[in-house]
Every structure is written in structure tokens, then in C-alpha cells.
């Protein structure tokens, strides 16, 4: 009996250690249809898990991934990609360990999920990549750009014929993502809500972006919207916000979030976090994970050099930077109402530190340029833009980076209109330039 007891005491810890790990991810279709399965498989292989297997789930847009890690632990990861809203609902109902969303958590969702911690804190809210909501037309359509206001007029049904937009084509056929989609939530918040209009009920709705794009590609009179990774076969329009120039959703402009319909892709990790959820997030934020984000058609957060073309009305100091320095792809942005870095900016600080360190440019090679929105008091916009740049300087200094110069350009060079708060927030930014 004593020998049997001793054997049990030896085996039980191993049995507990080898208990299978199960992770349930409820996701937007944008992230869950291809990106998350690719990331999960890569993360398991990075842990030397043999025989990673992918199976279809019980319903469309569901995936099950299983493996046995090198340490003998079995892993099962279920991904259900039915929309960002369904993810937060599943978390509330105890049916998710991780929420993947293609739009930020709403105020009401954050309040309802307080039992899972502050989901807007840097520990819970993780930006894993960037995307742009692309406005799509048929390749035969001669149109090249639209303003946000024009797009709102089209999708609300107030503009119903292509001739009203200056091109031939007859009736406009509308294609939109479904109500649960984070893509639609972004479109609604950025396009429809500012104009106080709703999507016309006759628009055709799609859960999957690739199916929407296929219909636009086959319909000469079509216009639709979806994420950048699912635009194949269509023509993508440039988009203008207010008086700012119309921009295409090019990777560099999405990376800097200058493109008007840029959006962040999120993973929300509740408290207490599971070990598998933490391991997956750590892998996604690594260079290997971010490379997969890019391979899947999204925009990674790896720091890159951007090409900037000088224009006539650039401030003199900015024109000098364009001529002699290089702009990096990261723009720092801030929490509403103050100069505190937001959750993405906190992660980006370390990315900039790593980039400058690897380039041997830790000491007096970087220039921080702050921007803002107009203020009633003369000089206040310039002051606040400089204070934001100073906040970035202090964060970089804690990582051993000594900045050469901090510049505040106030409300010059806006990337969005200032009529609404969402535009003013986009204009409050800090760029990084390197000699």
C-alpha cells in the first residue's frame, strides 16, 4: 500500500501538469476567417508542437485547431468568427476566453463586462495589427475618390444614381457587411453617424468580406465596403476626410493611421487570463507574429520607413525633415482628453526603442513632431502638440533613447476634419523622424 501511495504521489503532479489546454476565441469575421487560424498554427509550431491539425467547426466560419505540444500537453483552440459584437456577448455568457474584434470595445460593453477587469487597460486591450475599411467599386467604374460625406449620402440612399457623383452608370447598387460585423461598426461610427444617417434597408448584407467583394466585382453598378484583406477583384477608391487630401488605403497610410478609415484590430484578454491566451498574444506581438499579420493581407506594426513627398504648404521645419530625415511608420496617439498614451502607443514605444537601438541611433538622431486640433486661444494648439511630443520623449527616454528635438506644429497639416471629436482625435498625433 505504501508503495502504491508513493507511486500515486509521483504520477498525480504529472497528470495535472499534462492537463489539456482549451482556448475559446470568439471573433470578428475579419480576424477569425483566416488570420487567427494562421497565427494559432504558427504559435503552436513555434512551441514545437507536432501534428497541428485544423478542422472545420460545427457551423460556417468556425475552426477547431488541435495539437500536442512538445511537453505532452494537448491543446484545443476553437475559433468562432461571427462578428465583433458576438465576441463580447460570448464573453459575458462565459463562452469565450479571448475576444478578437475589428473595432474597439464600446462604452456599454466595457461597463457590462467589468467583472472581467478593465478591458480598456493596456493589460487587457491588445492591438495586434491594422486594417483599413476599403470603399469598393467595380473595376469598370471611372470614379477615383469620394469624401466621407459623399459615402454617407450614398449608403443612406440620399444619393441613388452614379450620375449624381459625376459618372455614368444608372442606379447605385449597395453592398454592406452584416450588423454584427466590426467592419460595419467601424463604417457606422466613421461614416454614417457623423452625418446622422442610417444604412438604407435595401443594401445587400454579407457576413464574409470576400463574398461581398466577389459581388461588387461582378456588378458594374456596385459600391461596397470591407476590410483590406478581402478587396480582390475590385477597384478601391481614395477617401477624403473634411479638407484633408483624399488618400488610398495604402499600407504606409494605414500603418500611420492617416487613411481616414484606418482601424485597429484587437484582442481583449479578460481577467484572470488563461496561459494559452497570454502565450498567443505574446507570439502575435513578436516579429514572427507580425510577419504573419502582413502575410494575411493586414498591416503589421513593425516599424518601417515611409516615403513623404514635399508639398508647397508644408511648414519650413517639416519640409527640412522631408529633405534630410526619414519618417517612421508609427504615429503615437493619445487617450481622449489628455496627453496620456493610448494602449497601442504604449506598445509602440518599445517598438521604436528596439528599432532605434538596432539601427544604432539611440542618441540624438530622432525628432518628434506633435500635431493637434485648432483652439480658441492663440498658441494653445502649438503648446498642446508640443506637450504630446514631450510625453513621447519621456517614454522613449526611459528606454535609453535621447531625442534630438521636439517640435510642436499645432493644428497644421491635419489628416482629418476638425468638426467632430473623432476627427480632432485623429489630428492629435506625434510623428517620429530619424536622421
Residue 370 has pLDDT above 90, yes or no: yes
Residue 7 has pLDDT above 80, yes or no: no
Same domain (yes/no): 153, 175: yes
Helix (H, G, I), strand (E, B) or coil at 143: coil
pLDDT at 389: 97
Same domain (yes/no): 355, 426: yes
Pinpoint the alpha helices (H) of 26-128: 29-32, 35-46, 84-92, 107-112
**pTM of the entire predicted model:** 0.84
Same domain (yes/no): 72, 174: no
What's the CA gap between 157 and 201, in Å, rounded? 9
Decide: 99 and 268 in contact? Cβ < 8 Å.
Answer: yes
What's the CA gap between 60 and 120, in Å, rounded? 30
Residue 14 has pLDDT above 50, yes or no: no
What's the CA gap between 373 and 411, in Å, rounded? 5
pLDDT at 244: 84
Radius of gyration of the CA atoms of the chain, in A: 24
pLDDT confidence band for 19 (50 / 70 / 90): low
pLDDT confidence band for 422 (50 / 70 / 90): confident
CATH number for the domain harbouring residue 362: 3.30.1330.60
Pinpoint the alpha helices (H) of 243-329: 251-255, 275-285, 287-295, 316-324
- Region of 410 on the Ramachandran plot (φ > 0 left; ψ -120 to 50 alpha; else beta): left
Give me 231's grid cell.
478587396
Identify the CA nearest to 189 among candidates 298, 101, 250, 127. Answer: 101
What's the CA gap between 204 and 201, in Å, rounded? 8
Give me 195's grid cell.
452625418
Angle at 228 between CA 222 and CA 229, to 5 degrees: 110
- pLDDT higher at 16 or 380: 380
Residue 377 has pLDDT above 70, yes or no: yes
Identify the CA nearest to 209 among candidates 281, 268, 133. Answer: 133
Same domain (yes/no): 106, 149: no
Same domain (yes/no): 394, 381: yes
pLDDT confidence band for 90 (50 / 70 / 90): very high
Residue 122 has pLDDT above 70, yes or no: yes
- Render pLDDT for 154-196 as a digit per residue (tens, 0 to 9): 999 999 999 999 999 999 999 999 998 889 999 999 999 998 9
Residue 65 has pLDDT above 70, yes or no: yes
pLDDT confidence band for 5 (50 / 70 / 90): very low
What's the CA gap between 402 and 389, in Å, rounded? 13
* Close Cβ partners of 243 (under 8 Å, ≥ 6 residues apart): 414, 417
Residue 2 has pLDDT above 90, yes or no: no
Residue 13 has pLDDT above 70, yes or no: no
pLDDT at 16: 39
What is the share, in percent, of the chain residues with pLDDT greater than 70?
96
The residue to which cell 502575410 is assigned: 295
- pLDDT higher at 244 or 370: 370
pLDDT at 11: 42
Same domain (yes/no): 250, 157: yes
- Helix, strand and coil in the chain, % to nearest 5: 35, 25, 40
* Close Cβ partners of 431 (under 8 Å, ≥ 6 residues apart): 256, 327, 328, 331, 368, 369, 371
Same domain (yes/no): 230, 142: yes
pLDDT at 15: 38
Residue 237 has pLDDT above 90, yes or no: yes
- Report the relative pairing of strands 21-27 and 74-81 from DSSP bridges: parallel
CATH number for the domain harbouring residue 80: 3.40.190.10
Question: Which residue range is the domain that position 59 belongs to?
Answer: 2-129+264-295
- Render pLDDT for 306-349 as a digit per residue (tens, 0 to 9): 989 888 889 999 999 999 999 999 999 998 877 889 999 999 99
pLDDT at 71: 85
Same domain (yes/no): 79, 176: no
Rounded to 5 degrees, φ, ψ at 408 are -115, 115
Torsion of CA 227, 230, 234, 239, to 10 degrees: 10
Same domain (yes/no): 315, 430: yes
Stretch 246-259: mean pLDDT? 93
Same domain (yes/no): 205, 269: no
pLDDT at 199: 98
Same domain (yes/no): 206, 118: no
Decide: 225 and 177 in contact? Cβ < 8 Å.
Answer: yes
Same domain (yes/no): 147, 231: yes
Residue 9 has pLDDT above 80, yes or no: no
**What is the domain count for the chain?**
3
pLDDT at 105: 95
Q: Return the axis-axis angle of helices 343-358 and 380-397, rounded to nearest 10°.
A: 60
Mean of pLDDT over the chain: 92
Among 295, 316, 351, residue at a domain's last position: 295
What's the CA gap between 434 and 21, in Å, rounded? 45
Amino acid at each position: 500500500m505504501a508503495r502504491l501511495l508513493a507511486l500515486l504521489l509521483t504520477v498525480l503532479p504529472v497528470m495535472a501538469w499534462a492537463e489539456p489546454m482549451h482556448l475559446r476565441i470568439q471573433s470578428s469575421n475579419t480576424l477569425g476567417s483566416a488570420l487567427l487560424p494562421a497565427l494559432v498554427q504558427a504559435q503552436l509550431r513555434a512551441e514545437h508542437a507536432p501534428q497541428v491539425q485544423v478542422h472545420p467547426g460545427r457551423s460556417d466560419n468556425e475552426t477547431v485547431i488541435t495539437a500536442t505540444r512538445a511537453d505532452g500537453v494537448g491543446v484545443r483552440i476553437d475559433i468562432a468568427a461571427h462578428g465583433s459584437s458576438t465576441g463580447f456577448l460570448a464573453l459575458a455568457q462565459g463562452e469565450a476566453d479571448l475576444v478578437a474584434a475589428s473595432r474597439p470595445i464600446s462604452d456599454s460593453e466595457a461597463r457590462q463586462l467589468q467583472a472581467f477587469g478593465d478591458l480598456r487597460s493596456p493589460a487587457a486591450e491588445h492591438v495586434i495589427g491594422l486594417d483599413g475599411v476599403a470603399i469598393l467599386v467595380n473595376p469598370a467604374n471611372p470614379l477615383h475618390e469620394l469624401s466621407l460625406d459623399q459615402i454617407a449620402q450614398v449608403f443612406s440612399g440620399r444619393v441613388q444614381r452614379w450620375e449624381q457623383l459625376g459618372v455614368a452608370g444608372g442606379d447605385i447598387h449597395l453592398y454592406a457587411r452584416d450588423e454584427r460585423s466590426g467592419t460595419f461598426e467601424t463604417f457606422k461610427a466613421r461614416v454614417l453617424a457623423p452625418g446622422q444617417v442610417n444604412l438604407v434597408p435595401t443594401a445587400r448584407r454579407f457576413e464574409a468580406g470576400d463574398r461581398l467583394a466577389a459581388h461588387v466585382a461582378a456588378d458594374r453598378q456596385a459600391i461596397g465596403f470591407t476590410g483590406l484583406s478581402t478587396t480582390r477583384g475590385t477597384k478601391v477608391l481614395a477617401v477624403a476626410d473634411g479638407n484633408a487630401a483624399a488618400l488610398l488605403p495604402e499600407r504606409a497610410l494605414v500603418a500611420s493611421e492617416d487613411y481616414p478609415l484606418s482601424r485597429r484590430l484587437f484582442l481583449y484578454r479578460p481577467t484572470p487570463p488563461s496561459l494559452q491566451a497570454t502565450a498567443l498574444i505574446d507570439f502575435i506581438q513578436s516579429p514572427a507574429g507580425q510577419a504573419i499579420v502582413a502575410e494575411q493581407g493586414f498591416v503589421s506594426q513593425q516599424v518601417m520607413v515611409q516615403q513623404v513627398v514635399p508639398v508647397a504648404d508644408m511648414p519650413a521645419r517639416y519640409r527640412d525633415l522631408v529633405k534630410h530625415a526619414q519618417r517612421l511608420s508609427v504615429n503615437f496617439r493619445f487617450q481622449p482628453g489628455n496627453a496620456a498614451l493610448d494602449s497601442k502607443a504604449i506598445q509602440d514605444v518599445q517598438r521604436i526603442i528596439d528599432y532605434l537601438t538596432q539601427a544604432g541611433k539611440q542618441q540624438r538622431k530622432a525628432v518628434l513632431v506633435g500635431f493637434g486640433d485648432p483652439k480658441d486661444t492663440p498658441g494653445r494648439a502649438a503648446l498642446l502638440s508640443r506637450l504630446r511630443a514631450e510625453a513621447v520623449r519621456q517614454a522613449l527616454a526611459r528606454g535609453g533613447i535621447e531625442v534630438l528635438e521636439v517640435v510642436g506644429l499645432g493644428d497644421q497639416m491635419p489628416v482629418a476634419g476638425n468638426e467632430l471629436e473623432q476627427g480632432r482625435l485623429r489630428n492629435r498625433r506625434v510623428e517620429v523622424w530619424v536622421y
